[in-house]
Structure 1
Amino acid sequence: MKSRINIIMLLVFLLCLLLIFRLGYLQIVQGDTYQEEVENAQFVEINQSVPRGEIYDRNGNLLVGNASKKAVYFTRHRNMSSGEIMDVAVELSGYLDMETENLSLRDKQDYLINRYPDEVENLMAEEKTLLDNGNISQEQFNQELYQRIDEEQVSSVLTEEDLNTIAIYVEMVNARELNPTVIKSEGVTEEEFAEINESLELLDGISTGMDWERDYPYGETLRTVLGEVSSSEEGLPKELLDHYMARGYSRNDRVGKTYLEYQYENVLRGEKEQVKYSTDKSGEIISQEVVKEGEPGDDLYLTVDIDLQLELEELAEHHLTSLRSMAEEIQQRNSRSGEIDYTIIPEYLNTVVLVVQDPNNGDVLAMVGKRLDDNGEVVDYHYGALTSTYAVGSSVKGATVAAGYQNDVIEAGETLVDEPLEFADGTTKSSFFNRDGKVAIDDQEALMVSSNVYMMKIAMGIAGMEYQPGMSLPSDVTEAGQTLRNGLSQFGLGVSTGIDLPNEARSLKPEFNNNPSSYLDLSIGQYDTYSALQLSQYVSTIANGGNRVGLHMAKEVREGDTNEEGAILQSFNGKVLNTVEFSPAELAQIQNGFFDVFNTHDTSTDRYGTGWDAYHELEPKAAGKTGTAEAHFNGDPILNQTYTGYAPHDDPDMAFSVIFPNMPYTVPFFPAQYLGRDVINKYYELYHEEAAIAPYEYNTNDFYSKLVYGSY
C-alpha cells in the first residue's frame, strides 16, 4: 500500500511539474504572441462614415459635394444575442420613428412568433397542440406559420409601434460586431436626436453622430455621368460585391456604383477611422480608443467647364425642340395641302448628342445629350454621347481619304472622276451633288462637296479593283474591309477613345455577308456605327496634325480641403494612343478640304461646301465635315445627321461633334447644322471674348418651300 501511495504521489508531482513548465512556456515564451492576438482581436477598423472627396469642374466650381445629416448608430458588442438586440430595439422605438412600408412579411412573422405567443397560439391552435405533444418540431411549426399567416392576419395583431420596432431591429440585427451601423440617417429630427442623446445610458450600443449624402449644386446636369454612391443601408451593391470584397471592403461600406464615382472610387473613398475597443469577459465594450482618425477622400477636378456645359445644354434643347416643332408644323400643313409626297414623323425626331473637347490634349470640355420623352418633355441624355452609336454618314470621309493615301490608292491632290457607279448586279451608287454626270475632282474638293464616288473608288482601290461600268464586285471583301476599318479606327472610329468612364460603346460592325456593296457603304459612313465621342476624337486627330489623344474627364486629384484648393496629388494629361502617318501635303489636303466644307463657294462651278450655309460667316473661321446617313427607325426611313469640326481652323483649341439621329427623310434635310454653328459661337464668346450671338431661329415658312422629294 505504501509503495502504491508513493507511486501516486510521484505521478502527481510529475503532472504538477509538467503543468508548471507548460504555464511557464505559455507565459514567458509565447506570452507576447498571445498578448498580440488578444490586442489584435480588439483592434478593428470600423465603418465610421467619412465624407467622400468632392468633385469640381476645371475652374473649381463644385459639382458634387457632401451634405451632412444627423444619424443614429448601433455598435453590436461581442456575444450580443438577438434577444438582447430586440430589447434595445424596443427601448429605442420610443425615441425614433422609422419608415415601415418596406418591411417584409417574414420579418413581421418572426416578430409575431417571438413577441405574441398567445396570438400565434390562437391563430394556429391545431399546430400548437401538435407542437406541445412533440408531434412536430418548432422549425416545422414556424414553417407552417410562414405559409399560413398572411399580411392581413399579421396586420390585425401588430401595432404601429410594433412595426417601428421591427424596422429598427432589422437594421440592428445585421450589424457586424464592433462596427457602427447606421440605423437611421434620413430625416432624423432635432427632437429625436436630442432625446436619444439624453438617454444613451439606457440604450446599449446606441450612439449619435453625423452622416453625409451627396449634394449636387447644379441639379441634374451631368448627373448620370457623375455617378451614384450606394447608401448606408445598401452597402456594397450585389452586382459589385465580389469586385469590392476582393479589394478589402466591408459589406456595409458606401462605394461608387456607376460612372465617375465608380471609376475614381480609390480617389474619392477616404480612409475609415480606426478604433481600439476594450471588452469585458461577456464581450461588452467597456472603453474605446481612436488609434487613427478618419480622413475624407481626395477631391477630383474634371476637365469639364460647367459654364460651357450649361450653355450648350440650353442650345441643344433649343434646337431639338425647335426642330420637333417645325416637323409638326410641316406635317400638319402637308396633311391639308398634300404638297409633299413623303412622310415626316415628328415623334422620331427625339434626340441630340454633342461633345466639345480640346483637340490637343483630350480634355472633354462638355458632353451634352437631350431627349424628348413620350410626353414631349426634355430629359437629360448626357451619357448617350458615350453609350450610343449611330451610322454617321459622310463625316468620316477625312479618314477614308487618309486610308487611300496610306494604301497607295491615291496621292495628295489626285483627281478622280465622280460619276454614277453601275454594277453588274444592278446596284447603282452616286454622289448627292452629281447624280448623272462626270465631274473630275481632287481629294480636297471631294471633301468639300462630299463626293460618295471618290470615297468608293478609294475603297475599290484598297480591294485591288479599278472601276469599270457594269463590272462585278468580288464576293469576298473581308480582307479589304478590315484594311479600311483599320484606316478608320486609327482616328478613333469604332474603337475605344480611352475615356476614363465605364460602359463606353465601341461600334456595331456587321459582317459584310458576301455583300461588297456594304463595303462601299463603309467608306462613306453608311455601315459601321460610331459615338459622338469617337467623332470628336476623329476630328481632333485631323485638327492637331495626326495625334489620336485619349479622351479623359479627370484633370487633377487634389488633397481634400474644405477651405481652399488642396495640393495637387495627381494630374491627368492626354495620352497619345497612336499617330496617324501622312505627309504634310496629305494632311494639308484633308485640312483644306475641311476648311472648304465650312467656308467655300466655288463660283466657277457654283459648288458649295456642304456646311457653307451655317458656318461660312463664323469669325474666326472654322473647319469641319458634315454627314448624312440613311437608316431606319421602326421600319421607316430616317436620316442621321452629323456635324463635326474644329476652330479656329488655323490654330484650333476646340473640336466638336453633333449627332441628330432619326431626322425626317427629306431633301434638303432639316437644317440641324446650325447647332454646330451655335456651339462654336458660344465657345468663342466664353473663351475668346467674342460678342454673344443669338442662337439660330428656325422658320417653317422659309424651309417649307425648299422641300422636294428625293433620296440619298
Structure 2
Amino acid sequence: MELKRAKTKSLEAINRQVMKSRINIIMLVVFLLCLVLVFRLGYLQIVKGDEYQEEIANEQYVEINQSVPRGEIYDRNGNLLVGNASKKAIYFTRHRNMSSGEIIEVASELSTYLDMETENLSLRDKQDYLIRMYPEEVGELMSDEQTLLDNGNISQEQFNQELYQRITDEQISGILSEEDLNTVATYVEMVNARELNPVVVKSDGVTEEEFAEINESLDSLTGVSTGMDWERDYPYGDTLRTILGEVSSSEEGLPRELLDYYMARGYSRDDRVGKTYLEYQYENILRGKKEQVKFTTDKSGEIINREVAKQGEPGDNLYLTLDINLQLELESLAEHHLTSLRNMAEEIQQRNRGTGEIDYTIIPEYLDTVVLVVQDPNNGDVLAMVGKQLDENGNIVDYHYGALTSTYAVGSSVKGATVATGYQNGVIEPGETLIDEPLNFAGNTQNISSFFNRSGQVPIDDQEALMVSSNVYMMKTALKIAGLEYYDGMSLPTDIGEAANTFRNGLNQFGLGVSTGIDLPNEAIGLSPDLSNSPGSYLNLAIGQYDTYSALQLSQYVSTIANGGNRVGLHMAKEVREGDANENGAILQSFSGQVLNTVGFSPAGLSQIQAGFYDVFNTHDTSTDRYGTGWDAYHELEPKASGKTGTAEASYNGDDVLNQTYTGYAPYDNPEMAFSIIFPHMPYTVPFFPAQYLGRDVIDKYYELYYEQAPVEPYQYDTDAFYARLSYGSY
C-alpha cells in the first residue's frame, strides 16, 4: 500500500499567522481602552459634571492688599526719609456666605488670644452685641417691649430701634465683662470684611505670645491667619512730616473725603492710600502691586484652598530734591532767629514800660512765624522748605507747609519785577534816570516818599533805585504804564483796571500771583483784589504793598532773575527708582523743572536788575553815603551774593505790623542757590527788626555744606545795641 506524505506549513505562513493574532489582540486591547475611556467620560460628565462645574465656579482670583508695603521716600543724597517698619499682624478672611453669627463665634474664640483696644468701641457696637448674646438681660431691661415682641405686636427691628434709644453705656457696663468688650472689639474688626478679602484684626502691638498661640490654633479659627503688616517709619522724626504726607491705616482704608477719587481709579475700600501732600501726590508711584490669590471654596462657601497666583510687589521708591542735612541745619537757624527776635521784642517791651522812651507799639506775641525756601535757581529743585512758629506757650512747632499755603504782602522784594515790567512795556529804558521826590496827589493829605529820601529831589537810575529801594521810582514807573507822567498835585484816574492787568501780568511772569508749578497739593496763589477803581492800591502794588505772595513764589521770582529770565517750575520729586532692599534700584523716571515761561529781558535790562540786586547786598556809595538795604547783613559774604529786601506795612488783629522779607541768590555771578524768607507780623519800628541776618546765615550754611567753608556761628542778637538805634519817627 502506498503512503501519502503529510503537508507542512511553511515558515512564512506561520509568521503571518502569529502576526495576525498579535494584531487582533492589540485591536481588542485598544477597543477595551476606548470603551473604558467612553465610560469614564460619561461618568465625569453625567455623574460628576455638576460637582466639577461647581468647583470651577468656586475658584476666584482675588486681589488683596496683605503685606504689600509702599515705596520708600529718600532725599536727593539717598538718605531715607520715609521707610516701612514691619510688624506682626492677625488677619481674617471671610468665606462665602459666612453669616455674622458665624463671625461672632470665631471672634469669641479669637478674642481669648488677643488683647484688643476697647476704649473707642461705639455704644451701637456694644448694643448689638448685647442683643445677640444677652437676650435675657435685654428682656429684663425692656420688659414691655419684650412682651410686645413675643406677642408679635412689634418687629425685631422695631424692638432694636427702641433699644438703641434707651440702653445707655452705664447700663451696658453692668452686663458686659471685660472679656465681652474684648470680643466686641475683635468682632468689629472682622464683621465688615468683604468675602475672600483679608482684613487686619490686629497689627498694632501684637505680642510674641499672641502670635504664637494663634498660630498653634489656626485649625480651629475659621478664616484666621497670621502674617506681617507694615507702618510708615520716619528716621528723622517729625521733620517735614506734613510735607511728606500721611497714609491711611488698615482700619481706615480709603479716607471718606477721598473715597470717590480713589474708587474711580479702581481702588478697593480697604486699600491703604496716600492722604496728604507727597504721599497723596505720588500715590501711583508709591503704592505697591497687590498680591493676586486664587481661592477655592466648597459648597458651603468655606475656603478649602488658597493659591498665590502672582506675588505682590512693593511700590517704587521716590527720591526728592530736598537735602535733609541742609533742611535740618536751616530748621535750627530758623528756630534760633525766631526765638531770639521774640526775646528781643519782649526785652524792649519790658524796658520801655519803665522808661517810655519809644513811641512804637511792640507786641512780642505777634512775632511768631518764619518761613523760608532754598532752591536751585536753574532747575527748580527745592532744596529745603522750612517753617517755624511759636505757639501760645512759646514752644517751637513746625510750620513747613506755611511756605506753600500762606501768603503775605511782601514789600519791596518785588521791585525787580516792577522794573522789568517797565522795560517790557517800553515806559523806561535800562539805565533811565527818574527824580525821587515826595509824591503829592490831589485829594491826598499825606505825601508818598521813599524811605531813604523824605523831602528832597534826587536823580536816581534803575540800578540805584533797587539798591536803596526807591518807592517813588517804582510808582512813577507804574504811572507810566497807565499812560501818565507824574506832576505835583496831579489827580489819579478812577479807572485803572487795564493798567493793573498789564502790571500784574508783568509780575506773573516771575511767578508772583500764579502757581509755581510745585508738585504738591494745596498751593496758595495769593490775593489779587480788583483794582479797577483803586488807583492808590495800584501804586502800592508796584512796591509790594497790596497783593500777597508765598515764600515759594518769592523764591521762584528771584530765581528767574538769577538764571537770566527762565521761570522754572518748582518740584519736590527728583527721580523714581525701582524698589531694591540692598541697593539703589534702577532709575525708572527722572524729573526736571519745566520752563513755564521766559521773561523778555534785554541783556542791558537784565544786567541793570542784577547789578541793582548786587548793590543791595554789597554796595556803600561813598559819594552819597547811601547803602544797599541789605548791606549790614550781607556785605561780608564770600563768595558774594545778590538779593532784595522788603518791608510791607500790614495789620494784624487791628494793630500795625510789618512783614519783613528777604530774597536773594549766591554766588552772585554763577548762582547755585536762591532763597526767600518771610517774617510776618514784626514790630512796627524804625529801624526794622534786624531779621535779615537769617538770610546771611542761610547762605553761610549753604557755603559750609556745599563749598566746605568753615562753619560760621549764627548771628547773635544784641538788645542793647538795637535799642540804642530805635528813634522817634514814622513812615
| Aligned partner of 2:107 among 83, 89, 108 | 89
CA positional deviation for 1:47: 2.4
SS in 2 for 1:471: coil
Deviations 1:70-107 (A, max 9, x none): 10000000000110001000000110111011111111
Alignment correspondent of 1:531: 550
How far apart in 2 are the matches of 1:252 and 1:378? 37
The answer as to 2:481 corresponding to 1:465 is no
| Aligned partner of 1:588 among 586, 599, 607 | 607
- Identify unmatched segments of 5+ residues in structure 1: 1-23
Alignment correspondent of 2:420: 402
How far apart in 2 are the matches of 1:194 and 1:99? 20
Alignment correspondent of 2:678: 659
Deviations 1:661-706 (A, max 9, x none): 0000000000000000000000001001111111100000100010
Deviations 1:339-395 (A, max 9, x none): 001210000000000000000000000000000000000001001000000000000
Letter of the 2:145 partner, please give it. E
Alignment correspondent of 2:134: 116
CA positional deviation for 1:36: 12
Alignment correspondent of 1:16: none
Deviations 1:304-342 (A, max 9, x none): 000000000000000000000000000000000000012
| Aligned partner of 2:460 among 405, 424, 441 | 441
Taking the TM superposition and a 5 Å limit, the aligned residue runs for 1:262-661 are 262-426=280-444, 427-512=446-531, 514-661=533-680
| Aligned partner of 2:231 among 191, 213, 227 | 213
Number of residue equivalences = 684
CA positional deviation for 1:35: 6.9
How far apart in 2 are the matches of 1:339 and 1:702? 15
How far apart in 2 are the matches of 1:380 and 1:396? 27
SS in 1 for 2:725: coil
SS in 1 for 2:106: helix
2:69 and 2:84 in contact (8 A); partners too: yes
CA positional deviation for 1:288: 1.2
Q: 1:626 to 1:533 in 2, by over 3 A?
A: same
CA positional deviation for 1:37: 11
How far apart in 2 are the matches of 1:430 and 1:35? 91
Taking the TM superposition and a 5 Å limit, the aligned residue runs for 1:12-161 are 38=56, 42-161=60-179
How far apart in 1 are the matches of 2:480 and 2:492? 12
SS in 1 for 2:157: helix
The answer as to 2:253 corresponding to 1:226 is no
RMSD, matched Cα = 1.5
How far apart in 1 are the matches of 2:177 and 2:303? 33
Show structure 1 runs of 4+ deviating over 2 A.
Answer: 34-41, 709-712
CA positional deviation for 1:155: 0.9
CA positional deviation for 1:276: 0.5
Q: 1:653 to 1:453 in 2, by over 3 A?
A: same
Letter of the 1:163 partner, please give it. L
2:55 and 2:296 in contact (8 A); partners too: no
How far apart in 1 are the matches of 2:117 and 2:242? 27
SS in 2 for 1:209: strand
How far apart in 2 are the matches of 1:298 and 1:686? 29
SS in 2 for 1:548: strand
CA positional deviation for 1:136: 1.4
How far apart in 2 are the matches of 1:344 and 1:160? 58
Q: TM-score, normalised by structure 2?
A: 0.92
Letter of the 1:67 partner, please give it. A
The answer as to 2:655 corresponding to 1:671 is no
Q: 1:658 to 1:516 in 2, by over 3 A?
A: same
How far apart in 1 are the matches of 2:448 and 2:425? 23
How far apart in 2 are the matches of 1:36 and 1:354? 66
Letter of the 1:685 partner, please give it. E
How far apart in 2 are the matches of 1:376 and 1:59? 34
Letter of the 2:476 partner, please give it. K
Q: 1:307 to 1:467 in 2, by over 3 A?
A: same
CA positional deviation for 1:429: 1.2
Letter of the 2:624 partner, please give it. T
SS in 2 for 1:581: coil
- Identify unmatched segments of 5+ residues in structure 2: 1-41
How far apart in 2 are the matches of 1:132 and 1:615? 88
SS in 2 for 1:482: helix
CA positional deviation for 1:126: 1.2
The answer as to 2:202 corresponding to 1:184 is yes
Alignment correspondent of 2:704: 685
Deviations 1:548-570 (A, max 9, x none): 00000000100001111000000
SS in 2 for 1:182: strand
CA positional deviation for 1:39: 5.6
Letter of the 1:315 partner, please give it. L
Letter of the 1:503 partner, please give it. N
SS in 2 for 1:705: helix
Alignment correspondent of 2:218: 200
Letter of the 1:124 partner, please give it. M
Letter of the 1:600 partner, please give it. T
Letter of the 1:89 partner, please give it. A
Q: TM-score, normalised by structure 1?
A: 0.95
